[in-house]
Amino acid sequence: MHTAISAIEPELRGDLTQVVKNYDIRGLVGDTLTAPLVTALGAATVDELGLADLELVIGHDMRESSPEFAEAFARGATARGARVIHLGLCSTDMDYFASGQRNAAAAMFTASHNPAAYNGIKISAAGAKGISLDSGLGAIRDRAAAYLDAGIPEVEHTHEPQRVDVLADYARHLRSLVDLSGIRPLKLVIDAGNGMGGYTVPAVLQEAAGLPALPLEIVPMYFELDGNFPNHEANPLDPKNLVDLQARVIAEGADLGLAFDGDADRCFVVDEQGEPVSPSAVCAIVAAREIARANAAGEAQPTVIHNLLTSRHVEEIVRELGGEPVRTRVGHSLIKAEMARTGAIFGGEHSAHYYFRDFWGADNGMLAALHVLAEVGASGRPISALAAEHTPYFASGEINSTVADAAAVLERLRTEFEGIELDELDGLTISERGSGEWWWANVRASNTEPLLRLNVEASTPELMAHVRDEFLGHIRQKA
């Protein structure tokens, strides 16, 4: 055994402590995230996950730094004995598909919706299983730090990396899960935000992968792959990034609009009137379809996961349809773990991440979009009517407040609302049910910034506004 990759001088490394987050790796290109650091992370991933002589799938998005980082990761992984499978350009859910289909660990190079100056890595264990800081990422970070200090020794037998194209197989798999061939014709406007949706939409919803045509007329927006995001940030969660899509849906007289984030694992829906559809409403629509499908297959009381920030309506519709709702904390790896633990058929988050048992428990924005299209196309009703049916309550959306001492504010809220129903599953959730009226408020601290995040939902708009303002007053009051 010899040292294939030398130790790295501190000024050339990047900063592991800043880039390894709770659920992924993310940093500023050339500053906190560098090629030598990525090479060390590749070697460390192989060692921590026991991948010597096993496949490791590596994919990347359209950011300028992504191909270089993917190659750097592969160098470290190959030195430690992994059989690297390069996917090349792909969406994050394509990377999960390859991980699930091949039962192989995977690394996806993307910074999702972050601006162009960022990049990152989403690492999965075999079968698209998520790992977090506590279940592998922390150990990978520490192993990588040791390699940066001492260099990376090469194993005796290394393997030549292979290149594999999974786009057509991915598209066929999604088409096999949701059949759109018999729906009424629909006109869609799709905003890919210059992200990976511009690569996957033509394959899944059109004929680029050689699949039969669907009864869909697609008006493309910003399908050109460009990691500099010249039109707007690929972050549909921010309302300003939906403005172009909303206007185009109305101008085109389209049935609905879809917006994907940068790595195309999240999908947002705009109705035919140009109004955003709540991700909770999408959760309810997809949950209802998946419960019906499970029941048709003879599965009684199937489990559906929802995080604690989705609308109360999601839990209600799951129970009404004979499913078993399971409330969880917020977080990608946490939801994946709960999907596996409970055997849930579907999981939904307020942030427009949608998880499917038929997709190895991983999230897939495109698959959620197929379900929405199938429901609109089969029901004969406009998406606005379906959304209204599944949005009976009133939500504040997430409101961030900068605070000096998050723990002190949370303690103040515990004292202020003592005697009212309170739980600490994730942050602090306080709720109250009166005669026909109810509300809940969740306050969570950011993992990375001095912020508290407030979400409120209530049975009436007036009550929601009152509770929201009361909580903001407590959160923002001077100590």
> CA nearest 333: which of 19, 99, 122?
122
Q: How far apart are CA 45 and CA 452, in angstroms?
A: 33
| Residues belonging to the active site | 112
Q: Cβ distance 215 to 185 under 8 Å?
A: yes
Longest Cα–Cα distance of the chain, Å, equals: 73
Which residue type does 77 have? A
Q: How far is CA 322 from CA 84, 285, 292, 309, 387, in A?
A: 44, 15, 9, 22, 21
For 58-76, the DSSP string reads EEE-S-TTHHHHHHHHHHH
Q: How far apart are CA 36 and CA 119, in angstroms?
A: 14
Q: Which stretches of 101-238 are assigned E, i.e. beta strand?
A: 105-109, 118-125, 129-130, 152-154, 162-163, 186-191, 216-221
> CA nearest 58: which of 20, 86, 37, 79?
86
> CA nearest 275: which of 391, 380, 400, 197?
391
